[in-house]
Amino acid sequence: MPMSRHVLLNNVEHRDLRVITRRTIDMRDDIMSAVTFPGEFRNVQAEYPIVFARMQDQSIVPLALFGLREKQNLFLKDGVWDALYIPLMVERIPFYIGAAPNGKVIHIDMDSPRISRSEGERVFKDDGGNTAYLDHVSSILGTLDEGLEGSKPFCDALVEHNLLEGFSIDITFRDGVKQQFGGFLTVQEERLANLDAAAVARLHQRGYLQAIYMVIASATNFRALIDRANKLQLGMQ
């Protein structure tokens, strides 16, 4: 696991701090997935499959999927992220939100390879004020903080109505290599269709029904993900 050293961001110690924003393996962007949340599903489903993972503590979290195996990100291309939308959990790196007696504060991982004093986006202006980049990051962190709080009740509702199930996909790539992709959960459409009217109404009232349909719609992105993998293996990307 990469080391991390989170410190409270401030405009004295970090006056000349810069953040490298290119997207490459050496920036630790070789990630298979990232945590997402229901409020982000509309943007995520346009680009990525949304799946669910059961964690060691048995909690369930939604993920935006970028690859078909560990350490594979099929959206990395020539130093950029080849998609119109980057999930907020990725975009906020190397910044984190933290708690303080007077409210929420911003922390930064000083061991991140994105940290620089010579290249990248400036964090603070010469007078110590926030740059537009830091204001953007602050907005991302606020959206994440609020959105992630809504993930647990959403996932609990899916479990309550028995709407999640494991799945696997048998993939044969163009070079003949075969792979079975699995280990995640998705929404079981037949069970959703068979919910009684009262259950559907409760999901709708809580704003969950639309998010559920976004998950279902996102499954079509597996075709594009497999196509990206094929191009990579054939040296076409």
**Predicted confidence (pLDDT) per residue in 81-91, tens digit:** 999 999 999 99
Which of 3-12, 43-52, 111-120, 193-202 is least confident? 3-12
pLDDT given for residue 205 in this prediction: 95
Residues 6+ apart with CB under 8 A from 74: 66, 67, 68, 225, 228, 229, 232
Q: pTM for this structure? A: 0.92
Pair 165, 188: CB distance under 8 Å: yes
The mean pLDDT value of the chain amounts to 94
Residue 39 has pLDDT above 70, yes or no: yes
What's the gap between Cα 8 and its chain centre?
23
pLDDT-derived band of residue 236, with 50, 70 and 90 as boundaries?
low
In this prediction, residue 167 carries a pLDDT of 95
pLDDT at 101: 79
At residue 104, the pLDDT reads: 87
The pLDDT value recorded for residue 175 is 86
Q: Quick check: 2 pLDDT over 70?
A: no
β-sheet bridge partners, residue 122: 18
Spatial contact of 20 and 114, defined as CB atoms under 8 Å apart: yes
Q: How far is CA 113 from the centre of its chain?
A: 19
pLDDT score recorded for residue 232: 82
pLDDT for 98: 85
**What percentage of the chain has pLDDT greater than the value 90?**
87
**DSSP for 32-47, written as a single string:** SEEE--GGGHHHHTTT
139 residue type, one letter: S
pLDDT at 235: 58
Q: Indicate if the pLDDT at residue 206 is higher than 90.
A: yes
Residue 33, token pair as written in the block: 């997935």
